[in-house]
Amino acid sequence: MMERHGRAKELLDRDCRNVARYFKRLGVETSPEEVRERILADRDDELEEEDGDAEKA
């Protein structure tokens, strides 16, 4: 989803709650906050990689 979407934060928060609930049912201890942090950290890592690739070109 594009970050510029008007409801992006709301939808991300909803999805993180759903993902955390799913994994808790499987016995994995997690929280919506942990899921959100992981998603945003992964996104930041990808953005850094893209910036590095652009500088090499």
pLDDT, tens digit (0-9, with 9 covering 90-100), for 3-32: 688 899 999 999 999 999 999 999 999 999
Distance between CA atoms of 47 and 15, rounded to whole angstroms? Answer: 21
| Inter-axis angle of helices 8-25 and 32-56, nearest 10 | 120
Does this model's pTM top 0.85? My answer is: no
Distance between CA atoms of 20 and 4, rounded to whole angstroms? Answer: 24
